[in-house]
Structures are given as C-alpha cells and as structure tokens.
Amino acid sequence: MQKTLNLCNIGTPFKLLFTGYLCTIALGYLLAIAQILFTHGMADGKIGLSLEDVVYNYYGNRSGSILEKKLNGSMKMNASDAERFKIIQWVRDSADEQTFNREIKSIIEKDCLMCHNEHTGSLPNFGEFEEIKELTKSDTGISYASLTRVSHIHLR
C-alpha cells in the first residue's frame, strides 16, 4: 500500500525548504509590524498604534500641516524642542520663503538634510524650498495618488 505523504515523512530537504520559507515570511512579518509602529504608529506622537494614528494618517489632521504633524510625531527626535517650535511657528505664521531663508533653512540643513536630500528618492527633498512648502499646507491625509502608488508597488 502506498504511504500517504505528510509532514513527518517528507524527508529532510523538504522540511528544510518549508522551515526556510516560514522563517523568511515570519521575519518579513515582524519587520512589517515594526515599520507600521514607527511610521503610522507615531502619528499622534505616542508609541503604539491607536485609532488616532489611523485617522491622522488617512483622513489627516485638518487643523495642521503634514510638517507640523511629523515634527510632533515620527520626526520628533530629529530636532530639539526649540527648533521644532521655530519651524512650526513659521508654518503657522506664513510659511513664506524669505523667513525660511532667514530663520528656518539653517535648522533644516543641520537636522533634516542628511535624510531628506535628492539622493533618497522616496523622501521629500528639503534642499528644494518647493518640496517643504508643499508639506506646510493643511494635512488631508494620504492622497489617492500616493495610496495607488504604494498598492501598486506592494502588489508587484
């Protein structure tokens, strides 16, 4: 009589194959959770995913800009309280280019440009005033264009 195949008797190479697959998927899953916690989870400034985080990320915090939201959220540790206050003040006052060049540019160059430059394609390049200006507008959450782009990349 032919023995049926089951997990016990499939032989070591197949067991290793399945184990390898499960470990890879598990690692990917853990990294995905960490990524969600550090990007979306910090939207309300507190660690851990909450209802507010989902609202802030997808509906937006319509009383403020993305720049302000990030400076109080996942970008909080990149600048001192005084510097963050200065940038937020500028966003709320006028977000104009003259004041930017006079007071804000030096902070951005010191604290943000090492990540937000022209070489990191997926992040806005803060070397360009226009790209910062865009983030000072009222935050209406993730755009449909950005959602389709992310879905497209992930489905591929």
Using CB under 6 A as the criterion, which residues of the chain lie in contact with ligand HEC when the complex forms?
Answer: 39, 66-67, 70-71, 74-75, 78-79, 111-112, 114-116, 123-124, 135
Q: Which helix (H) or strand (E) holds 32?
A: helix 12-38
Cβ distance to ligand HEC smaller for residue 19 or 35: 35
Q: Nearest approach, Cβ of 79 to ligand HEC (angstroms)? A: 4
Q: Which helix (H) or strand (E) holds 84?
A: helix 81-93
Report residue 119 CA to chain centroid gap: 17
| SS3 label, residue 138 | strand
- Of 50, 31, 30, nearest in space to 40 by CA: 50
Q: Nearest approach, Cβ of 156 to ligand HEC (angstroms)? A: 20
| SS3 label, residue 142 | coil
Q: Nearest approach, Cβ of 132 to ligand HEC (angstroms)? A: 8
Cβ distance to ligand HEC smaller for residue 14 or 85: 85
Q: Nearest approach, Cβ of 75 to ligand HEC (angstroms)? A: 4
- CA triple 29-34-39, angle to 5 deg: 125
Cβ distance to ligand HEC smaller for residue 5 or 109: 109
